[in-house]
Amino acid sequence: MLIPLIGMPQGAEWLVILAIVILVFGAAKLPELARGTGQALRIFKTETKGLRDDDDKAETKAPEQLDAPRATESEQAVPERRDDTTA
């Protein structure tokens, strides 16, 4: 049994909304408006998918990076010391 959500437009309300949209934008602009909305949704979808992929990559790389020992910057900058006193 489907219970309709309270406050959601149904049947006749959608017709009134469509009529108002046609009056505001004009019938000639509706295809252009729909095309622009579709492109915006596609761009949004690809960007959110890209963010999810980046998060997945970061999660899979994080445990590997934690296991590997890393030298600090000070350890990398200090050259090995040689004893040249016995020349």
Question: pLDDT by residue for the chain (87 residues), tens digit each?
Answer: 566 667 777 888 989 998 998 898 888 888 898 899 999 999 999 999 888 887 777 777 655 555 555 555 555 555 566 666 665
What is the separation, in whole angstroms, between the first and last Cα of the chain?
95
Residue extents of the structural domains in the chain:
27-51
Cβ neighbors of 21 (< 8 A, separation 6 or more) are 30
Task: Return all residues near 17 (Cβ < 8 A) that are at least 6 apart.
Answer: 9
Contact 3, 10 (CB under 8 A): no
- The pLDDT value given to residue 25: 84
Cα distance between residue 30 and residue 41, in whole Å: 16
Q: In terms of pTM, does the model score above 0.95?
A: no
